Amino acid sequence: MKGICALYDNETELMESHIFPKFIIKNTKKTGSQYLRRVVEPNKREQDGPKSYLLSFRAEQEFATREKWFAENVYVPYLNGKRRFEYNENLYYFSISFLWRTLILQLRTETKLKTDWTYSTLLKVEKEWKSFLTNDKVPKNYHNVNLLFTDRIESHNTELTGVDFYMTRAMDATIVDNQNHTFIIIYAKFNRFIFWSVVKSPEFLDELYDVEINPKKGILEVPQGLVYEPITSFLTHRIEKIAEFPRPNQSEQDKIEKEIMKDPDKFWKSDVGQSLYNDKFNLEK
């Protein structure tokens, strides 16, 4: 369809762009079910992640180059056991391109944002990030980007359920803020990778030392330390909130069970099976 490319602002044929990179969707299905289910619509089976007529072919190719770099140099190596990553500018570009897409989606679909106190700041962030993505000009005001690697949860001291599944399997994206209007965070995750950008906050630099991505190059090592309270608190509340959503209805649960019973041994050995087992039998209080 014809439209305005969200990245280059030119009228062109728009692609149906994946908000979460396509290789993420593919691997999530490969290591779990052939179908995806959104938390807010548990009775709806989907074969693909969220998409939108957003980008031109040129923009898609620009992003695809960095997605390929991330898949080959970070995503696959981490899932295969690598724990130390020397990276270059491609990691920063990939991270902002991913967070920018999730921000665009929020601005376009969450109509209540237009009356929210965060709106004017979010528009400034989107504009500055787009300038970076098109001109390679490192953001001056909204440059902070972070990546937390997660793994199978061995234990936790909360009453939460579904912790392992959220931390290792879930795809999620949102704007995080607080009632006191002291911080704004753009947040998005997939599988074992949590990205976020602090765009408004009291002093935080020391608290993000182990997770912040340098725009040019650097090293990330796992395990990482994270004591930035707005994110640690958000993760707790997010998992708690997701647990409150209704489960699939009986008809959909029957479909899930039927799919599992086709090869139960394969299912329980899969990544999603191990996650569900861990949540139910090792972590449940």
DSSP assignment of 190-210, as one string? ETTEEEEEEEE-SS-GGGGTT
Check whether 43 has a pLDDT greater than 70.
Answer: no
> First CA to last CA across the chain, in angstroms?
51
Sign of dihedral through CA atoms 194, 36, 59, 127?
A: negative
Note if the bond before 21 is cis, omega within 30 degrees: no
Phi, psi for residue 182 in degrees, rounded to 5 = -105, -15
Cα 161 to Cα 258: distance, rounded to the nearest angstrom: 24
Cα 105 to Cα 124: distance, rounded to the nearest angstrom: 15
Burial of 228 (0-12, 13-18, 19+ CB in 10 A): buried
Residue 263's pLDDT is: 80
Check whether 37 has a pLDDT greater than 60.
Answer: no
Cα 228 vs. chain centroid, distance in angstroms?
18
pTM: 0.92
Cα 120 to Cα 209: distance, rounded to the nearest angstrom: 28
102 vs 278, more confident: 102
Look at residue 189 and give its three-state secondary structure.
strand
Check whether 217 has a pLDDT greater than 60.
Answer: yes
Residue 252's pLDDT is: 64
Confidence grade of residue 147 (pLDDT, cut at 50, 70, 90): very high
pLDDT tens per residue, range 148-201: 999 988 777 677 788 999 999 999 999 999 999 999 999 999 999 999 999 998
pLDDT tens per residue, range 199-213: 998 876 678 999 999
Sign of dihedral through CA atoms 10, 188, 22, 247?
A: negative
**135-144, 217-226, 235-244: which has the minimum mean pLDDT?**
235-244
* Type of residue numbered 21: P
Half-sphere CA count of 244, side-chain side, radius 13 A: 6
Q: What's the mean pLDDT in 63-90?
A: 98
Q: Which two tokens stand for residue 233?
A: 């608190």
Residue 138's pLDDT is: 93
Cα 141 to Cα 238: distance, rounded to the nearest angstrom: 27
Phi, psi for residue 15 in degrees, rounded to 5 = -90, 155
CB distance 268 to 192 below 8 Å: no
Q: What's the mean pLDDT in 211-224?
A: 97
Check whether 109 has a pLDDT greater than 70.
Answer: yes
Cα 216 vs. chain centroid, distance in angstroms?
22
Per DSSP, helices labelled H in the chain are: 22-30, 57-70, 76-79, 89-109, 119-135, 163-168, 229-244, 250-261, 264-269, 271-277
